[in-house]
């Protein structure tokens, strides 16, 4: 009986691992979307320069475990990275490096990609990027330890995680694996090793993602797409402008934003959605709303245009990233009863989002 119990316990503790190495010398392993790529032997390694292409492993899926690869880094501006848990075109988790930001807080980036849109303007700072100095004009080793909903990033130092990702933003689901270029041909990928493991060990001290603050608008109703041109003139909302829209409810994430790319797929001039909520006030009053957006916004209360704004990449100066936060305030003149707050949010690139937070909820509620 004791032997049986020990065997059973060991079976529970055992974490099966399957490791595979994939050579870039065997081009038949890879599916390439794009023409700007090079397979070649470089600096002693069979390598791939993805350049402006996306490269996927054929007939392969990854869910949890360890991803390791070498990347040849130069000081050039670029964003070469690995895509994992790919769910068809344009939906995956991504980690990439920014060699031109070596040593800076945004030297790399974890971001989810929804419907083809990476959202680094929404997901930045702790848990999404970390300062590190790369070895220039040399091979650097990257390791990602991916659990079901969390992950760790290692760069060159394989003993100490560079940072911990407390929440992978996409729904955990197995998917394919690959790389994207995002920069000059100087960057090269080599020596991909994948270890599938059901419960990979994370060295970082886990921490719980903070819950949504009660003053934050907890959800938005998001409309179907339309062209930003229709709102070019500064006019109040009319019944014709609101006609025929379809709506989806999207909950705010823990930091307070709604990632509009979860439900909206921009195409050409159709780059705008409305995000709306109803504010129920117990009396006539003025309430301060702090809000954020990416990339452009027009704010309406009870169909009246209040304010607009621009937050695009480099729109304020050449270093401005267009990151989103509670950087703007508007004072809402609420009437007793229902008040409709509408925000028309237009996207360029880098993240499509909206967020709002009241100083307090005294005398109001969101429905």
Q: Enumerate domains of the chain plus CATH numbers.
A: 15-197 (2.60.120.560), 219-366 (2.60.120)
pLDDT at 303 over 60: yes
**pLDDT of the residue at 10:** 41
Percent of the chain residues past pLDDT 70, beyond the cut: 96
Task: Supply the mean pLDDT for the chain.
Answer: 92
Least confident interval from 31-40, 140-149, 236-245: 31-40
pLDDT score of 15 more than 70? no
- In this prediction, residue 43 carries a pLDDT of 93
DSSP-based helix, strand, coil % in the chain, nearest 5: 10, 45, 45
> Going by C-beta distance under 8 Å and a sequence separation of 6 or more, which residues neighbour residue 49?
37, 38, 40, 42, 181, 185, 186, 187, 188, 189
Of 340, 338, 337, 268, the residue nearest 301 (C-alpha)? 340
User: What is the average pLDDT across 299-311?
Assistant: 95
Alpha-carbon gap, residue 107 to 98, rounded angstroms:
5
pLDDT value at 92 more than 50: yes
- 13: pLDDT strictly greater than 80: no
Q: Is the pLDDT of residue 137 over 70?
A: yes
With contact defined as beta carbons under 8 Å apart, do 204 and 22 qualify? no
Tell me if 71 sits within 8 A of 142, measured CB to CB: yes
Q: What mean pLDDT do residues 34-55 have? A: 90
**Model confidence pLDDT, tens digit, residues 183-229:** 777 899 999 999 999 999 999 988 878 889 999 999 999 999 999 99
Q: What is the pTM of this model?
A: 0.89
Q: How confident is the model at residue 16 (pLDDT cuts 50, 70, 90)?
A: low
Please state whether beta strands 296-301 and 337-346 pair in parallel, antiparallel, or not at all (unpaired).
antiparallel
Beta carbons within 8 Å of 31's beta carbon, 6+ residues apart: 55, 56, 57, 58, 178
Kindly state the average pLDDT of the residues 270-291.
97
Tens-place pLDDT, residues 51-91? 888 999 999 999 999 999 999 999 999 999 999 999 987 99
State yes or no: pLDDT of 3 exceeds 50.
no
Q: Which helix (H) or strand (E) holds 9?
A: helix 2-13
């Amino acid at each position: 009986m004791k032997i049986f119990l020990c065997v059973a316990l060991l079976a529970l503790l055992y974490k099966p691992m399957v490791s595979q190495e994939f050579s870039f010398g065997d081009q038949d392993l890879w599916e390439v979307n794009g023409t700007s790529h090079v397979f070649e032997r470089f600096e002693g390694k069979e390598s791939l320069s993805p350049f402006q292409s996306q490269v996927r492993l054929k007939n392969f899926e990854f869910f949890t475990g360890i991803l390791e690869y070498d990347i040849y880094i130069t000081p050039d501006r670029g964003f070469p990275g690995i895509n994992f848990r790919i769910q068809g075109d344009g939906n995956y988790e991504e980690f990439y490096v920014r060699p031109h930001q070596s040593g800076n807080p945004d030297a790399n980036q974890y971001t989810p990609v929804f419907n083809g849109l990476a959202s680094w303007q929404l997901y930045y700072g702790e848990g999404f990027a970390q300062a590190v100095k790369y070895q220039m004009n040399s091979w650097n080793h990257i390791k990602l330890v991916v659990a079901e909903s969390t992950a760790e990033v290692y760069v060159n130092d394989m003993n100490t995680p560079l940072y911990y990702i407390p929440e992978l933003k996409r729904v955990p689901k197995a998917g394919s694996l690959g790389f994207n270029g995002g920069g000059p041909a100087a960057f090269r990928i080599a020596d991909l090793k994948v270890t599938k493991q059901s419960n990979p060990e994370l060295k970082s001290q886990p921490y719980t993602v903070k819950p949504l603050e009660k003053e934050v608008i907890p959800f938005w109703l998001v409309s179907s797409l339309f062209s930003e041109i229709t709102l070019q003139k500064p006019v109040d909302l009319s019944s014709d402008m609101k006609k025929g829209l379809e709506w989806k409810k999207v909950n705010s994430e823990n930091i307070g934003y709604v990632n509009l790319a979860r439900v909206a797929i921009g195409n050409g001039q159709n780059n705008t959605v409305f995000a709306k909520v109803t504010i129920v006030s117990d009396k006539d009053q003025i309430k301060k709303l702090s809000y954020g957006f990416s990339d452009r916004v027009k704010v309406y209360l009870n169909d009246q245009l209040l304010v607009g704004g621009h937050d695009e990449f480099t729109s304020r100066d050449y270093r401005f990233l267009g990151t989103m936060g509670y950087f703007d305030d508007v004072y809402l003149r609420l009437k007793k009863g229902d008040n409709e707050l509408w925000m028309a949010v237009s996207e360029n690139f880098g993240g499509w989002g909206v967020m709002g937070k009241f100083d307090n909820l005294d005398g109001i509620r969101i429905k």
